[in-house]
Amino acid sequence: MFVPAVRGNFHASGCAPPRAEAADMPLVFVPTPLGNLRDITLRALDVLREATLIVAEDSRVARRLLSAYDLPGRELWTYHEHNAATTTAAIVERARGALVAVVTDAGMPGISDPGTALVAAARAAAVPVEVLPGPTAFACAAVLSGFDLRRFAFEGFPPRGAGDRRAAFRAALGRAQPTVWYEAPHRIRAALADLATVEPGARVFLLREFTKLHEQQVAGTPAEVAAALGEPVRGEIVFVLDGGRPELAPAPTSAEALDDAIAGLVEQGLTTSAIAKQLAERGLGERRHLYARVSERRRAGPAATEA
């Protein structure tokens, strides 16, 4: 039976927490195993068993998961970045009077997916939200790295453009704490190459296919980690980058200095895209933000770019 979160204290010696009334049924975020099917909690199984509706990132993956735990026949809705804007309200409405479980393909829903928007919408509608503890790849990778974790930052996926990616890694290396990143298998070599360009001696820990049959743990420089990967690279990847290199942190750039740089490149006849790319490669910001700034300066006219 699903036991909701307890709002207060109770004793474990036979005193069970009260069951929620139907009107108080929550929207429950349920972490699912990253690979090993035994890494699911009893509470997670309770919720999946009793949920009226299961909201999944990919319904095919969710059906396989439910079948593995002998929980077939659930009503399933898909929820991802392409339909979140049109589906969020309907999910929240269902959660007003019925237990709705939210799962991702693996791990904690809401991490690097649109689940956070669903939480915000539920809060705004006064619909209770619960999050069950469970598998989270980035925290496990951070612990496995052996780096000093008194503080660390989760960065999600690196930017896709090489210039932006290098700028992001340069900023990360300059912090006094490790950073944790996800990356797609078809982009990891490019990411490691950009990291090596910024700092060949950077300390990296990479975890691939965590809790699965072919789990791989690699520590070393970007080049050493890249050399240890098979070809083609497959599976889910998380890597940890040690910081503490303040000399690599990009120097703060004033708005005036940035606009002067833009003006100089405009005079050379470069396109907005080329200017943004060049400034990003200098470590002056992310390409998309620089593109917006260059566009703004162009719209303001020659006087603005010359000021």
Which of 91, 108, 131 is at the close of a domain?
A: 131
- What is the rounded CA–CA span in Å between residue 168 and residue 283? 8
| Residue 14: inside a domain | no
Check whether residue 296 and residue 231 sit in a common domain.
no
Q: What digits encode the pLDDT tens for the residues 292-303?
A: 989 988 887 665
What are the C-alpha distances in Å from 46 to residues 138, 139, 256?
A: 25, 25, 58
Across 21-47, average pLDDT: 86
**Residue 18: its pLDDT value, please?**
40
| Residue 171: inside a domain | yes
Which of 131, 159, 186 is at the close of a domain?
A: 131
With a pLDDT cut of 70, the percent of the chain lying above it is 86
Number of domains in the chain: 3
Structure tokens at 296: 């703004």
Place of tokens 């080049």: 223
CATH number at residue 172: 3.30.950.10
| Residue 10: inside a domain | no
| Residue 1: inside a domain | no
Strand order in the sheet with 237-241: 153-156, 179-183, 237-241, 204-208, 216-220
Check whether residue 217 and residue 275 sit in a common domain.
no
Check whether residue 72 and residue 172 sit in a common domain.
no
Strand duo 75-78 + 237-241: pairing: unpaired
Check whether residue 283 and residue 235 sit in a common domain.
no
Check whether residue 282 and residue 227 sit in a common domain.
no
Q: HEC string of 97-139?
A: CCCEEEECCCECCCCCCCHHHHHHHHHHCCCCEEECCCCCHHH
CATH number at residue 110: 3.40.1010.10
Is residue 51 classed as helix, strand or coil in its secondary structure?
Answer: coil
- Does residue 213 carry a pLDDT above 70? yes
Q: How is the chain split among helix, strand and coil, in percent rounded to 5?
A: 40, 15, 45
Check whether residue 150 and residue 243 sit in a common domain.
yes
The mean predicted confidence, pLDDT, of the chain is: 86
Check whether residue 239 and residue 284 sit in a common domain.
no
| Residue 71: inside a domain | yes
Q: Where are the beta strands (DSSP E) in 4-119?
A: 27-29, 53-56, 75-78, 100-103
CB-based contact 172:179 (threshold 8 Å): yes
Check whether residue 141 and residue 127 sit in a common domain.
no
Structural domain boundaries, residue 293: 255-306
- Does residue 59 carry a pLDDT above 50? yes
Q: What digits encode the pLDDT tens for the residues 139-162?
A: 999 999 999 999 999 999 999 888
Check whether residue 33 and residue 68 sit in a common domain.
yes
CB-based contact 217:205 (threshold 8 Å): yes
Strand partners, 29: 102, 131
Place 6 in a pLDDT band, splitting at 50, 70 and 90. Answer: very low
Q: What digits encode the pLDDT tens for the residues 156-178?
A: 999 988 888 998 999 899 999 99
Which of 97, 131, 165 is at the close of a domain?
A: 131
Check whether residue 29 and residue 95 sit in a common domain.
yes
